């Protein structure tokens, strides 16, 4: 019988109930974000536990912008690797968060079909009377964004931001697009929206503009289940594909949706809060600065889309997640990695898997089978030029666990010779938030061959054995025996 606390979850509240049950939430009785205490606490919690082990923080009472919010603000929702397994219905192994992440990856890769397609279950519309997100409907003078705990995370941010919202756009010809973009609260009824140039949301709005539209209807969905939010914040869905249908396929049941009050846009019915409005397509405003995922303050955007808010609907006592961008991991990442693994495995027989740790933006660790130096760099070149975050692409042997930073750094230091095993790419597409880029969205790259073959191909001699290899050859069962014998302390 399935544990009732295992995912997939229909709502953020089901997910939070499970986190409470498994002991992953740390409650903070009283904290003052007017003094940026929540931000400082998140830094210290991450430093103490590391980003993959830090608990979810639930702020029982938080002061922000001269308001007091109770039982309504939560941070670091997706940091722990154990939560990747929970969200997919896998009971985590308490001894190894790394193993739990791998179990999530394995399940996802089995879910994707042999052609690299994600199975879909189309969302199903329910009546508004059954939709929790319709428990409260605010219109006219009752609409005030400052009545909800959207936090200003950094002193240098240009005000409060919605940084866990799913921006939903719909059109009869273009379909539905669901994407996560930072949203600056400019006033009680006005929001700046930041889809970067060539992101799917930007393409969608530009196409509407090309059709001659003066405005675009839009909804911002806040507080969905973890899988729906992961689809919103990733590139799993290609442009034109429905993120909600892919989320339903992964959850094994349709996402329940309901029509907005002011437009024909449909939104997840179990979300915490929905902001409805329109974007004037011929009107742009400044937006930012904002603390980006690299951990640095991103620059002011001279021209960005704006949204005029018309209606807000929400659950009773809505819970608003805050990402603490640049400090915590922002969403489930196993679906993203699984999708990329299937993509590159279909292109290269020698590719095994990759991992790009969001806590170390710019790095991409790649595991490959033993192959020629030329093929190694072909794989590295393809990944580095097609994956914007992969500024430093490092290729490793099969024996290196690319999710284990100790093994990664050990292999890099001992198997790589910079002069003969590196390749520079002078100019390629990069992440727009990279503070070292001179031209926004462009970046140089480095590909590093940290495999044994990089040396063996030069010397025509076998690479030196690792000490632990010799131990295993002489005493094949010793490590497992010791693990059982001393399990109380290991």
Residue 411, domain CATH: 3.40.1670.10
pLDDT for the residue numbered 1: 42
Q: Is residue 133 part of a domain?
A: yes
Distances (CA, A) of 241 to 100, 179, 206, 231, 334: 29, 12, 17, 11, 20
Cα atoms in the 13 Å half-sphere on the side-chain side of 332: 30
The reply to whether 19 and 144 lie within a common domain is: no
The reply to whether 354 and 392 lie within a common domain is: yes
**Cα separation, 420 vs 454, whole angstroms:** 8
Q: Nearest 5 degrees, angle CA 157-CA 160-CA 165?
A: 110
Q: What is the mean pLDDT of the chain?
A: 95
pLDDT for the residue numbered 2: 59
- Measured from the Cβ of residue 303, the count of other Cβ atoms closer than 10 Å reads 9
pLDDT for the residue numbered 197: 81
**Cα separation, 287 vs 291, whole angstroms:** 12
Average pLDDT over residues 338-351: 96
pLDDT for the residue numbered 15: 98
Give me the count of residues in the chain.
Answer: 490
The reply to whether 157 and 274 lie within a common domain is: yes
The reply to whether 88 and 125 lie within a common domain is: no
Of residues 74 and 429, which shows the higher confidence score? 74
**Cα separation, 53 vs 114, whole angstroms:** 33
Q: Is residue 341 part of a domain?
A: no
**Cα separation, 200 vs 337, whole angstroms:** 19
The reply to whether 145 and 269 lie within a common domain is: yes
Q: How many independent structural domains does the chain possess?
A: 3
The reply to whether 371 and 267 lie within a common domain is: no
DSSP class per residue in 28-69? ES-EEGGGTHHHHHHHHHHHHH-TTTPPEEEEEEEEETTEEE
The reply to whether 150 and 235 lie within a common domain is: yes
Which has the minimum average pLDDT: 5-19, 50-64, 195-209, 329-343?
195-209
The reply to whether 60 and 209 lie within a common domain is: no
The reply to whether 91 and 182 lie within a common domain is: no
Predicted confidence band of residue 106 (pLDDT cuts 50, 70, 90): very high
Residue 130, domain CATH: 2.30.110.10
Predicted confidence band of residue 431 (pLDDT cuts 50, 70, 90): confident
Q: Is residue 487 part of a domain?
A: no
Predicted confidence band of residue 209 (pLDDT cuts 50, 70, 90): very high
Q: Is residue 1 part of a domain?
A: no
**Cα separation, 146 vs 66, whole angstroms:** 10
Last residue of a domain, one of 82, 108, 134: 108
pTM, rounded to two decimals: 0.94
Question: Which SS3 state, helix, strand or coil, does residue 201 take?
Answer: helix
Q: List the beta strands (DSSP E) in 223-300.
A: 256-259, 266-268, 273-280, 284-287, 290-291, 297-298
Residues spanned by the domain of 450:
348-474
């Amino acid at each position: 019988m399935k544990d009732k606390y295992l995912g997939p979850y229909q709502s953020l509240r089901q997910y939070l109930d499970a986190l409470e049950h498994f002991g992953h939430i740390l409650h903070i009785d009283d904290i003052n974000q007017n003094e940026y205490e929540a931000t400082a606490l998140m830094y210290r919690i991450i430093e103490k536990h590391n980003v993959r082990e830090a608990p979810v923080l639930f702020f029982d009472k938080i002061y922000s912008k001269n308001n007091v919010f109770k039982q309504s603000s939560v941070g670091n929702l997706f940091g722990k690797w154990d939560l990747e397994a929970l969200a997919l219905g896998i009971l985590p192994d308490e001894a190894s968060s790394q193993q739990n992440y791998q179990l999530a990856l394995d399940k996802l890769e089995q879910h994707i079909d042999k052609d690299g397609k994600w199975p879909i279950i189309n969302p199903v519309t329910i009546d508004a009377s059954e939709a929790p997100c319709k428990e409260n409907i605010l219109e006219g003078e009752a609409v005030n964004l400052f009545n909800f705990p959207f936090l200003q995370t950094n002193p240098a941010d240009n005000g409060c931001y919605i940084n866990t919202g799913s921006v939903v756009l719909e059109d009869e010809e273009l379909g539905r697009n669901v994407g996560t973009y930072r949203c600056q609260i400019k006033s009680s009824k006005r929001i700046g929206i930041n889809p970067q140039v060539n992101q799917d949301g930007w393409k969608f709005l530009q196409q509407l503009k090309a059709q001659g539209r003066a405005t675009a209807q839009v909804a911002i969905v806040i507080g969905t289940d973890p899988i729906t939010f992961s689809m919103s914040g990733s590139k799993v869905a290609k442009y034109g594909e429905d993120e909600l249908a892919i989320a339903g396929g992964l959850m094994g049941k349709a996402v329940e949706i309901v029509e907005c009050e002011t437009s024909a846009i449909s939104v997840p019915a179990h979300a915490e809060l929905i902001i409805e409005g329109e974007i004037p397509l011929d009107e742009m405003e400044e937006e930012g600065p904002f603390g980006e995922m690299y951990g640095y303050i991103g620059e002011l955007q001279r021209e960005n889309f704006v949204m005029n808010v018309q209606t807000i609907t929400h659950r009773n006592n809505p819970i608003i997640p805050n990402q603490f961008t640049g400090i915590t991991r922002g969403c489930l990442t196993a679906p993203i990695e699984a999708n990329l693994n299937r993509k590159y495995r279909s292109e290269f027989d020698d590719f095994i898997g990759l991992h790009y740790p969001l806590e170390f933006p710019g790095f991409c660790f790649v595991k490959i089978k033993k192959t020629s130096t030329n093929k190694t760099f072909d794989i590295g070149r393809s990944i580095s030029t097609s994956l914007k975050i992969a500024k430093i692409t490092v290729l490793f042997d099969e024996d290196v666990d690319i999710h284990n930073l100790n093994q990664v750094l050990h292999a890099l230091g001992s198997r790589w010779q910079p002069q003969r095993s590196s390749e520079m790419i002078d100019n390629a597409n990069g992440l727009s938030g990279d503070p070292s880029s001179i031209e926004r969205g462009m970046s140089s790259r480095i590909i590093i061959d940290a495999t044994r073959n990089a040396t063996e191909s030069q010397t025509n001699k076998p690479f030196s054995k690792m000490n632990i290899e010799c131990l295993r050859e002489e005493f094949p069962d010793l490590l497992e025996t010791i693990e059982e014998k001393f399990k109380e302390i290991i």
